[in-house]
Amino acid sequence: MNILIFGATGMVGQGVLRECLLAPDVARVVAVGRRATGQQHPKLQDLVIPDMSDYSGVEPQLQGFDACFFCLGVSSVGMNEADYKRITYDLTMAAATVLARLNPGMTFTYVTGAGTDSSERGSRMWARVKGATENALLRLPFKAAYMFRPGMIQPLHGVRSKTPLYQAAIMVLKPVLGLAHRLWPDRVTTTEKVGRAMLAVARHGAPKVLLDPADINALGR
């Protein structure tokens, strides 16, 4: 498989990239972002795009892919709805619309979050925006699209969050995250299982398009 990863320098993206590079059936990985991953691997190529809303100059480099793992995102903390929508909805759809046109046989996987509001009418701003993004993605003419809704994620294999607050919380919770993952597999997953689950849906699909932590863990095994 040839795979695109958006957000490969974030916590989830780092884990997904690791699993892609380890997978024997993945021939090529292109990491798309505003900056390079800083990693060297025979399978890996960085595609640095300063303006993530405009892909007109790189369309030839975005063709010929079997799957896209879209792990790009920001926290809504301290953001108003317009700014959060611009990053979460607008930037995602700018990329996805181009990819659906260039790669009609592509499987597109998007990382949202537990509690995302598919009705787009709830009281939580982030959940409405994520829900609108999911719904718009599912209307695009991809071969298949899956929405990953992880809850708490345990980072493994040296993966770190770029958000200082999240990383601090992870360090504090590190002694109990592993136990929580074993005790509540329907609420807690790992970066490793998210990556493996994405590869699983790219290979074989999944029985439903909205995947919660329990689904992700089952696919990631």
Per-residue pLDDT of 77-134, as tens digits, reads: 889 999 999 999 999 999 999 999 999 999 999 999 999 999 999 999 999 999 999 9
Q: Is the pLDDT of residue 182 over 60?
A: yes
Predicted pLDDT of residue 180: 60
Q: Is the pLDDT of residue 174 over 70?
A: no
| Helix runs in the chain, H state only | 11-22, 81-85, 91-102, 125-138, 164-183, 191-204, 213-220
Predicted pLDDT of residue 161: 60
Write down the mean pLDDT value for the chain: 91
Q: Is the pLDDT of residue 165 over 70?
A: no
Predicted pLDDT of residue 30: 98
User: Model confidence at 170, in pLDDT bands (50, 70, 90)?
Assistant: low
User: What is the mean predicted confidence (pLDDT) over 49-65?
Assistant: 96
Q: Is the pLDDT of residue 171 over 70?
A: no
First to last CA, the chain: 20
Predicted pLDDT of residue 77: 85
- Measured in whole angstroms, how far is the alpha carbon of residue 199 from the centre of its chain? 12
